[in-house]
Structure formats: C-alpha cells, structure tokens
C-alpha cells in the first residue's frame, strides 16, 4: 500500500528543539509512523510531556535536556541515539532563530550568532550522525527547518534571513556531499502557530496582516510542518535530496515585517 511508504518502523530519529511547537509535533509524528525518538531542548518538563505523547504512540523516547547552542552538546545527540537505541536513521535540525531588529542595530556579532545558531548547529549534529547512519551499509535522512525569509527580503530580518538562507544552501551542499547514502532536505516554513508567533496570534491586527499576506488566508499549524518532515524522512521521499520544500501557505513576500 502507498501509505506504507510513509512508515518509519524500526527507525531512530533525533529531533532538536523538541520541547514545543514544530519540534514537538515532529517528534510525535515520527513516533506515530513507527520511529523511536531522541528529543532535546532546554526545558525538561516540556520534553517530558512530549515523551509521554511519543510513548502513547507506542514508541520509545529518550530525553536529553541541553543547551543546543553548545556545539558539543548538539553533536553529542548522535551518540545519545546510538547508546539509547542502538542506531540512528533520521535527524531533524529544528533549532535556530534570531530576534528581529533594525539593520543599524544588527551588529556583525549578531550575524555571526545567527549563523552559528541556524547553521553550525545543524552541521555539528549531522556531521556526528552520518557515520552512525552509514553503519552496516545503512542510509539516512536529514531534514532542516529553514524559513520563507531565507528567499525573500523583509525589514528587520537581516540576521535571521541570512542565517536561514545559509542553512538552505548548506542543505544543497551537504546533499551533494552525502549522496547517495544520506539524503538532506529542508523545509522553508511560513508563519506557523508556535509560541514564537504568540505576539502575532494574540494581536488581531498583526494576525490579520499575516493572514492577508498568505494566499491560503491563515496561519499554519505545527502538524503541517511535521507532516512534511515525515514525508522527507520516510521512503515516500526517497527520491528527493538537496531540495527546499516550501510550506508557507503560498506566500511570495514577507508575512510580517518589523
């Protein structure tokens, strides 16, 4: 059956930023499709809640509370997967971000931090994960969470947009280096109803502005990104690598400017 191609039974995944929002939804989606999951973020109680949802889906969760801006900590998640579950097949690089600010208030250090948080973390974890994915002639899938603002201009997002733009191109470069054994793709997300967007969803004016800038006329849900992650990580996406999948409600311009 075609639906079997969306299964990841017996696979092991690492999901960063998994305490809430897109990361949490992704961890649960992968579990519902058959994977055991290593979940990591800063806040343990959030991770424990997600772990219960993973276990309710009949799979195992391994919680790693960590500051994932520490490159050694994020790289160590690959070993955590090996130690906890004996293998590693899927990596979802979901940490990242940068606070919006005017151009003249964006220092060179802010650009550097945006690159480290959005790109270096993905590189550190993926670099540690690839040898484990390739054990016993195995294969792997990496999915990076990028952004609409990586490909369009928007006031106030020079650091964030540059960081995500670099992540998108890192995706293409890593895919070329690692083919055919490890597939590497990314999702360019639009405005999604996570805690990071509370300032928008709780303000009628801002929410309307975002909805008006989105052809589908609404803000997306974390589960819609999780569904795309599952597609790219599963055999259903087995002929896709080096691509940036846009899940943004059809937006062709910034949905919000600061």
The answer to whether the bond into 180 is cis (omega within 30° of 0) is: yes
Catalytic residue among 6, 85, 157, 160: 160
DSSP state, 59? -
Cβ-based neighbours of 88, under 8 Å, separated by 6 or more: 12, 13, 14, 78, 81, 82, 129, 132, 133, 140
State the DSSP string of 136-159.
GG--EEEEEEEEGGGTS--TT-HH
| Each residue's pLDDT expressed in tens, for the chain with a length of 258 residues | 899 999 999 999 999 999 999 999 999 999 999 999 999 999 999 999 999 999 999 999 999 999 999 999 999 999 999 999 999 999 999 998 777 889 999 999 999 999 999 999 999 999 999 999 999 889 999 999 999 999 988 888 899 999 999 999 999 999 999 999 999 999 999 988 887 777 777 878 888 888 888 999 999 999 999 999 999 999 999 999 999 999 999 988 766 555
Token pair listed for 189: 């997300």
Res 258: pLDDT = 54
Active site residue 239: no
φ, ψ of residue 221 to 5 degrees: the values are: -110, 150
Q: Look at the pTM and tell me if it is higher than 0.85.
A: yes
| C-beta of residue 231 within 8 angstroms of C-beta of residue 247 | no
Task: Tell me the domains of the chain and their CATH numbers.
Answer: 2-247 (3.40.50.720)
């Amino acid at each position: 059956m075609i639906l079997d191609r969306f299964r990841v039974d017996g696979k092991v995944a690492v999901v960063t930023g998994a305490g809430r929002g897109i990361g949490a939804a992704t961890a649960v989606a992968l579990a519902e499709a058959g994977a055991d999951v290593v979940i990591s973020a800063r806040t343990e109680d959030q991770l424990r809640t997600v772990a219960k949802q993973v276990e309710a889906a009949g799979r195992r969760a391994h919680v790693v509370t960590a500051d994932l801006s520490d490159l050694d900590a994020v790289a160590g998640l690959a070993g955590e997967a090996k130690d906890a579950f004996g293998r590693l097949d899927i990596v979802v690089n979901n940490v990242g971000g940068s606070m919006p600010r005017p151009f003249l208030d964006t220092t060179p250090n802010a650009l550097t931090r945006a690159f480290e948080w959005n790109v270096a973390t993905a590189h550190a974890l993926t670099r540690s994960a690839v040898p484990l994915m390739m054990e016993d002639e195995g294969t792997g899938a990496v999915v990076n969470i990028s952004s609409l603002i990586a490909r369009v201009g928007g006031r106030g997002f020079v650091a964030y947009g540059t960081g995500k733009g670099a992540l998108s191109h890192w995706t293409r470069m890593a895919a070329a280096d690692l083919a055919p054994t490890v597939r590497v793709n990314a999702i360019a997300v639009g405005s999604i109803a996570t805690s990071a967007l509370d300032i928008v969803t709780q303000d009628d004016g801002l929410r309307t502005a975002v909805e008006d800038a989105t052809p589908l006329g609404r803000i997306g849900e974390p589960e819609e990104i999780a569904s795309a992650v599952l597609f790219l990580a599963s055999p259903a996406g087995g002929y896709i690598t080096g691509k940036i999948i846009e899940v943004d409600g059809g937006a062709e311009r910034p949905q919000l400017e600061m």
